[in-house]
Amino acid sequence: MEILMSTINQTIAGYMWPLFRISSMLMVMAIFGANTTPARVRLLLSVAITIAIAPILPPMPNTELFSLPAVFITAQQILIGVAMGFVSLMLMNTFVLTGQIIGMQTSLGFASMVDPGSGQQVPAVGNFFLILSTFIFLAVDGHLLMLKMLIASFETIPVSENGINIANYRAMAYWGSYMFGAALTMSISAILALLLINLSFGVMTRAAPQLNIFSIGFPITMLSGLLILWLTLTPIMAHFGEVWNSAQGLMCDMLELTCKVPPSTMSGGR
């Protein structure tokens, strides 16, 4: 029995290019792309998903694997996966920024610890918000939804030399401003509360200059910060739902999917 070389190339391409797109997303996205997840686990998971979905994917382009067009196709698949994973990273960093802003305003930013995901020193409050948002992300099956969207993208953005539109890359960059805006929105109540407390200390200093404002102001500010932090956790689900819907809208626009979530309203005025 003779097997044509073109048949072998087509079979390898049917698994290779989907593997590049899926593994690129898993290597970058939140939780799975963290330093705490071994690279071997991510690779095995990518291979298992590719083997499971390869039979239902559209036909791959009839391109020689060892050629320049094949390199461009591979680069496009990697860019698509990295873009999807990067959106999930920005989603998580929204809550990290929220915790850092609240921690700096409430004098709780002095306590810092190593972020297990990035290996960098971050305030403990920011790491707390990161862990909380990670649990919520897993609870709402965000990782499964992203994987479902990536698999559906093989229909809307077939494997070829064409990838995500340049305008959608620009929208992803603009979504970074939404990330900072959402973090400020979630922490604005804590900022205003601490501002009122500091103003009250200023009035006390003017009314009674003999009071040592530093000895009594610092512990009161920290205790008030803990109370404000506790009150900030009440609407965290509503904030996460709004930011997650915006991130879903961005991913749907990038992958040219028809989603039921509203599109991002703060991703650069699109």
Per-residue pLDDT of the chain (270 residues; tens, 9 = 90+): 455 667 777 788 888 889 999 999 999 888 888 777 888 888 899 999 999 998 888 888 888 888 888 899 999 999 999 999 999 999 998 998 888 888 777 766 666 666 665 566 667 787 888 888 889 999 988 899 999 999 999 988 888 888 888 888 889 989 988 898 888 888 888 888 888 887 887 777 777 666 666 667 677 777 877 788 888 888 888 889 899 999 998 999 898 888 776 544 434 433
Please report the pLDDT score of residue 265 as a whole number: 42
> What pLDDT is attached to residue 188?
87
Residue 115: the pLDDT is 61
pLDDT of 13: 81
User: For residue 142, with 0-12 CB atoms within 10 Å meaning exposed, 13-18 middle and 19 or more buried, which class applies?
Assistant: buried
Quick one: residue 256, left, alpha or beta (phi over 0 = left, psi -120 to 50 = alpha)? left
Q: How many distinct structural domains can be found in the chain? A: 1
Residues 68-75: contacts with CB under 8 Å, at least 24 apart = 69/161, 72/161, 73/17, 73/159, 73/160, 73/161, 74/17, 74/20
On whether residue 268 sits in a domain, the answer given is no
* Of the candidates 174, 185, 194, 201, the residue with the CA atom closest to the CA atom of residue 240: 185
CA angle 144/246/76 to nearest 5° reads 65
Whether residue 21 lies inside any domain: the answer is yes
State the pLDDT at residue 268.
40
pLDDT at position 1, please?
46
Does 269 map to a domain?
no
CA dihedral 265, 267, 269, 270 (to 10 degrees): -90
Has residue 261 been placed in a domain? no
Distance between CA atoms of residues 249 and 45, nearest Å: 26
> For position 267, what pLDDT does the model report?
41
The reply to whether 265 falls in a domain is: no
pLDDT of residue 231: 82
- Whether residue 94 is contained in a domain is answered as yes
Question: What is the spatial distance between Cα 116 and Cα 127, in angstroms, rounded to a whole number?
Answer: 9
> Are the C-beta atoms of 265 and 182 separated by less than 8 Å?
no
Does 182 fall in a domain?
yes
Query: Is 102 inside any structural domain?
Result: yes
Domain ranges, residue 225? 5-255
What pLDDT is attached to residue 270?
37
What's this model's pTM, rounded to 2 decimal places?
0.81
